[in-house]
């Protein structure tokens, strides 16, 4: 279950940072600024930056100056600011990590790019496809690196999984089925329930759609066959759960039916047992096998890739915590192929720094893919009758 996976990741990253010495920072290291004091920051940015010799935790900003000061002291940032704009006005900041609420992603990523900063932007990329296109245009105009933080795609397990699918050994893909749920559910009052901040299960659990599109090398769906939302009890404009069935064109040009299920308030078994075992996962059925990726969201904690052959019923299991198809021959800041202790976020930071430094990263989420992801989300929301998430700001 998503919230439990996140909690485990926070603990794992604290343990790793405690056991591994902070490396000496190189001359010319990137000075990182962080917009917001969100709960995800330590795992997603602070600890990955601590262990990278080419990243310095330079500045953090919050609309609450005291919160920024407290976080800066705890994680040894050099500066703190009581506003996001003040951080962006600091000429010493080279790059920013934006972890504001969904509905504020476009505004502050846009302002950061305009201020001459490289941007690592939390998922979902923006509130909708229109914002995504405009943000990518801004990145192209400014010549700065813009990357959506779909951290799971940077992990060796994701690459090993797709290599099995792409090998052709098990025939063409027939169907996919992915899910991401929260049980116990996200508490009332959380920003993920706020319509004006682009809340909703299909926005926050966007990983499930990402698993699907990644497996298929797909762009936007050819057709939305069905999209049924379960409205949030306190605001019917927001989806507590979403069941959708889509038709995608895979890399072979074949049409594949894909089911995607997201839920921010998954029911408990018999009313009192949370479904803690439901880690984000995807099943890919091919002509000859069923290929299952368990805990695709945060495979650094634990994962397995199982392949069950239809003709024999035999199941083989594979795990990949370092190296693999994309990182295997790469000399990283932690050695060849990375380290087994590295989280998805740490691999992501490695790639982000490489791109800023002018190197070709081992893997990357193209901006065009982020646009297609948001346009796919829009299509599902439109079909469900809820309508795509609104824009708060579309600055020129």
pLDDT 10s digits, 316-351: 999 999 999 999 999 999 999 999 999 999 999 999
- CATH number, residue 288: 3.30.360.10
* 167 and 84 within one domain: no
Asked whether residue 389 is assigned to any structural domain, the reply reads no
pLDDT of residue 257: 98
CATH at residue 132: 3.40.50.720
Q: Can you give the residue range of the structural domain that contains 137?
A: 2-150
Number of domains in the chain: 2
Looking at the structure, do residues 18 and 63 belong to the same domain, yes or no?
A: yes
Residues of the chain where predicted confidence (pLDDT) is lower than 50: 1, 396
Residues 6 or more apart in contact with residue 206 via CB below 8 angstroms: 123, 124, 373, 377
Residue 36 to residues 122, 130, 343, Cα–Cα distance (Å): 11, 24, 21
**Count of CB atoms situated within 10 Å of the CB of 153:** 23
pLDDT of residue 94: 98
Do residue 283 and residue 177 come from a single domain? Answer: yes
Q: Is residue 73 part of a domain?
A: yes
Q: For position 72, what pLDDT does the model report?
A: 98
Query: Are 290 and 313 in contact, with CB atoms under 8 Å apart?
Result: no
**Whether residue 198 is found in the same domain as residue 226:** yes
- Per-residue pLDDT, 15: 60
pLDDT score for 184? 87
pLDDT at 10 (0 to 100): 54
Query: 106, 130, 150: which is the final residue of a domain?
Result: 150
Longest CA pairwise span in the chain (Å): 63
Active site residues: 123
Q: Does residue 393 form part of some domain?
A: no
Tell me the three state secondary structure of residue 247: strand
Instruction: Show which of 102, 122, 150 is a domain's final residue.
Output: 150
Residues 327 and 306 in one domain: yes
Q: CB–CB of 46/35 below 8 Å?
A: no
- From 161, 178, 192, 185, select the one nearest 307 (Cα to Cα): 161
Which of 134, 150, 166 corresponds to the end of one domain? Answer: 150
pLDDT of the residue at 30 = 98
């Amino acid at each position: 279950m998503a919230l439990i996976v996140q909690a485990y990741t926070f603990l794992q990253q604290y343990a790793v940072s405690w056991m591994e010495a902070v490396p000496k920072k190189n001359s010319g290291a990137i000075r990182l600024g962080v917009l917001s004091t969100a709960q995800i920051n330590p795992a997603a940015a602070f600890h990955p930056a601590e262990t990278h010799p080419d990243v310095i935790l330079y500045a953090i900003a919050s609309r609450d100056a005291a919160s920024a000061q407290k976080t800066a002291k705890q994680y040894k940032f050099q500066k703190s600011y009581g506003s996001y704009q003040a951080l962006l006005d600091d000429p010493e900041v080279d790059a920013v990590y934006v972890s504001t609420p969904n509905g504020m992603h476009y505004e502050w990523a846009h302002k950061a790019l305009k201020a001459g900063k490289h941007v690592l932007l939390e998922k979902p990329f923006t509130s909708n496809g229109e914002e995504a296109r405009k943000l990518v245009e801004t990145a192209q105009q400014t010549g700065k690196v813009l990357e959506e933080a779909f951290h799971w795609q940077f992990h060796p397990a994701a690459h090993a999984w797709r290599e099995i699918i792409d090998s052709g050994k098990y025939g063409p893909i027939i169907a996919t089925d992915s899910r991401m749920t929260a049980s116990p559910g996200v508490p009332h009052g959380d920003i993920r329930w706020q319509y004006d901040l682009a809340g909703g299960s299909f926005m926050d659990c966007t990983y499930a759609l990402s698993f699907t599109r990644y497996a298929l090398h797909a762009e936007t769906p050819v057709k939305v066959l069905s999209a049924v939302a379960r409205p949030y009890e306190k605001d019917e404009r927001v989806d507590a759960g979403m069941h959708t069935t889509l038709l995608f064109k895979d890399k072979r040009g074949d049409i594949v039916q894909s089911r995607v299920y997201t839920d921010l308030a998954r029911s408990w078994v018999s009313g009192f047992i949370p479904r803690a075992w439901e880690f984000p996962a995807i099943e890919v059925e091919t002509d000859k096998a069923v290929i299952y990726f368990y805990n695709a969201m945060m495979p650094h904690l634990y994962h397995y890739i199982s392949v069950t052959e239809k003709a024999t019923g035999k199941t083989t299991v594979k795990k990949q915590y370092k190296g693999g198809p994309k990182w295997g021959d790469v000399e990283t800041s932690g050695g060849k192929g990375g380290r087994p202790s590295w989280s998805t976020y740490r691999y992501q930071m490695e790639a982000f720094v490489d791109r800023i430094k002018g190197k070709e990263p081992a893997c990357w989420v193209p901006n065009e893919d982020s646009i297609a992801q948001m346009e796919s989300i829009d299509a599902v929301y439109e079909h469900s009758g809820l309508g795509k998430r609104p824009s708060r700001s579309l600055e020129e």
